[in-house]
Amino acid sequence: MDISIFKKLGLSEKETAVYLSLLEQGAVSVRNLAKAADLNRGTTYDILKKLQELGLASFFHKNTRQHFVAEEPDKILKLLASRQAELSMAEEKIIELIPELKSLQEKGGDKPVTKFYEGKSGVKFILDDILISMKALSQKDYYVYSAAGVREDVYGAYPDFNKKRIKQNIKANTISLSAGGGTYGLDERKWLPSASSGQVEMMTYILIYADKCAYISRDSRNNPVGVIIENKMIYETQKILFKELWKLI
């Protein structure tokens, strides 16, 4: 029997052990149940109280002694439905709180926040952050410095990124620092004059978006790594530099 599902219901290993022992033993005293579950009596009794609160156990008196019995296993479905309802209510409250939480976050906006990511999953997280961050903006343009090598890491980590970007009507403006790369829709690309020389082998892939700047490169073991810096002033500076360079190419 796979008992890991009980963890998702909020039951610990000891609580699961008591519940399963209760099912096996039938009507049983705390003493005998504790022995069956290999726990002390105090812990077993505390767990039984919780199982009663969850509707998974009940008790009766027999010969002046208290005996416990497990409720029908179908009650687990009722507990699951209750947990789902609680999660649904929690989701609604969190949605209501998000504007207030963002307001608290913005109070520290003058201090740059840096987040580090590793591997393909880290690169994908950065690209997902672009889609999520740009979704709420009326101006859906962002800016990219694209570089060979790292470019392949980006495309490989999220093959359908451009498809999702286009679906969200997000426009990309890209300056290629090296040869290669193309357009995919809702984007423009320019190449630095030195890009065709082929002399530059590896540089950093830079994304400028939604008051953030992301840098994707490779570490000493040649694995993709990324950094997101969240700061409006840094973002505005990088955007101005990008636009000025764009005019000159």
Domain boundaries, the chain: 5-73, 110-248
> For 102-144, what is each residue's pLDDT tens digit?
777 666 556 678 999 999 999 999 999 999 999 889 999 999 9
> For 128-138, what is each residue's pLDDT tens digit?
999 999 988 99
Q: Which two tokens stand for residue 248?
A: 């000159």
* Predicted pLDDT at 81: 87
Res 10 pLDDT > 90: no
40 in helix, strand or coil? coil
SS (H, E, C) 49-102: HHHHHCCCEEEEEECCEEEEEECCCCHHHHHHHHHHHHHHHHHHHHHHHHHHHH
CATH architecture designation of domain 110-248 = 2-Layer Sandwich (3.30)
Q: What CATH number should be reported for the domain whose range is 5-73? A: 1.10.10.10
**CA gap 180, 198 in Å, rounded:** 10
pTM: 0.60
> For 208-234, what is each residue's pLDDT tens digit?
999 999 999 999 899 999 999 999 999
> For 34-63, what is each residue's pLDDT tens digit?
999 999 999 999 999 999 988 899 988 877
Percent of the chain with pLDDT over 70: 94
